[in-house]
Structure 1
Amino acid sequence: MGRPATVAPDNTPLPERELLARVFRTLGEARRLSIIELIIEHGELSQSELFQRLSIPQSRASEHLHCLVWCGFLTVERRGRRLIYRVADERAQEFLRLARTFLSENEAAITTCRAL
C-alpha cells in the first residue's frame, strides 16, 4: 500500500503550514515518540520487541507503528515472520535533539502552558 499524495479530500494541495503541523502532531503523541526513541537507541527493533517494551495493547502499538511508517518516520522490513523497524531518516534524531534543547530552555513555560 502506497502513501497518499499531499492533498486535501477535495484534491487541493495542503498548505505547507498544515503539513508541518501534521509532522508535529505525529510526534506529539507520547507513545509514538517513545517508539522512535527506542528504535534510535537500539538501531532497529522487531515488532514483538517493541510490544514488550511499550507495555500497551498490541493493537494500539500497531496503530502507532503504522502511523510512523505511513508518515515516513520509520521503515519496516519483513525478515521471515518478523517485522523489523528502523528510523527512516537519520534527521529524526537531530530533530529530537533540537526539541530537547528547546525544551530545556523553555521547560517552565511549557510545563505551565494552559493552551495544550
Structure 2
Amino acid sequence: MTMNNESGCLAATGSGSSLDAAVALFHSLSDGTRLSIVRRLAEGEARVADLIGELGLAQSTVSAHVACLRDCGLVDGRPEGRQVFYSLARPELMDLLASAETLLAATGNAVALCPNYGTDTGDSRE
C-alpha cells in the first residue's frame, strides 16, 4: 500500500512488496520539476536559492520538491551555517536516469505518444 506523506510524495507503507517501493521511486521521479532538480544536483551541490534562480520557480515550489526528494531518500542536505546544501544521496540514481535515456532512445521516445502519460498535447480530433 502507498500513502501520501506530508510533502505530497508517495511512500511505500505497510507490508507492501518491493513493487510498491519501485512504484514510489518512479512516482518520486515522475514530476518534471523533481527530475530537473535531480539533474541539476547531479552536477554538484546546490541550495534552494540556487535552484530557484536556475529553474525559475517559486521558493515554495522548489522547497516542496526538494523535501519530497529528501523524504524519498534521494537527496541529502548538508547544513552550513544558516544554509543547506543539497546533493544526490545515491549516485545510482544517475545510472537509473542514464538507463531511462537509453530506453527512450531505443524506443524512439514512443512513450511520449502514450495516451495516458505521453507528452503529446496536440488535439487529434481536428
Deviation at 1:44, TM superposition (A): 0.7
- What amino acid sits opposite 1:107 in the alignment? G
- What amino acid sits opposite 2:45 in the alignment? E
Aligned identity (percent) is: 28
- What amino acid sits opposite 1:88 in the alignment? A
Deviation at 1:108, TM superposition (A): 4.1
Instruction: Name the CA distance, whole Å, in 1 between partners of 2:109 and 2:88.
Output: 30
SS in 1 for 2:85: strand
Instruction: Name the CA distance, whole Å, in 2 between partners of 1:52 and 1:110.
Output: 31
Q: Which structure is higher in RCO with an 8 Å CA cutoff and minimum separation 6?
A: 1
Q: TM-score scaled to structure 1, two decimals?
A: 0.86
Q: TM-score scaled to structure 2, two decimals?
A: 0.79
- What amino acid sits opposite 1:65 in the alignment? V
Please tell me whether the aligned partners of residues 37 and 51 of structure 2 are also in contact (alpha carbons under 8 angstroms).
yes
Matched, 1:15 2:17: yes
| Per-residue deviation, residues 11-60 of structure 1 (Å, max 9, x unmatched) | x312221211111010010100000100102x111121111111111101
- What amino acid sits opposite 2:52 in the alignment? F
Please tell me whether the aligned partners of residues 48 and 59 of structure 2 are also in contact (alpha carbons under 8 angstroms).
no
Aligned to 2:34: 32
More helix by share: 1
Instruction: Name the CA distance, whole Å, in 1 between partners of 2:95 and 2:15.
Output: 28
In the alignment of these two chains, the number of paired residues is: 107
Instruction: Name the CA distance, whole Å, in 1 between partners of 2:108 and 2:65.
Output: 26
In structure 1, the gaps of 5 or more residues are none
SS in 2 for 1:66: helix
| Per-residue deviation, residues 48-97 of structure 1 (Å, max 9, x unmatched) | 11111111111011110000001011000110011100110110111110
In structure 2, the gaps of 5 or more residues are 1-10, 118-126
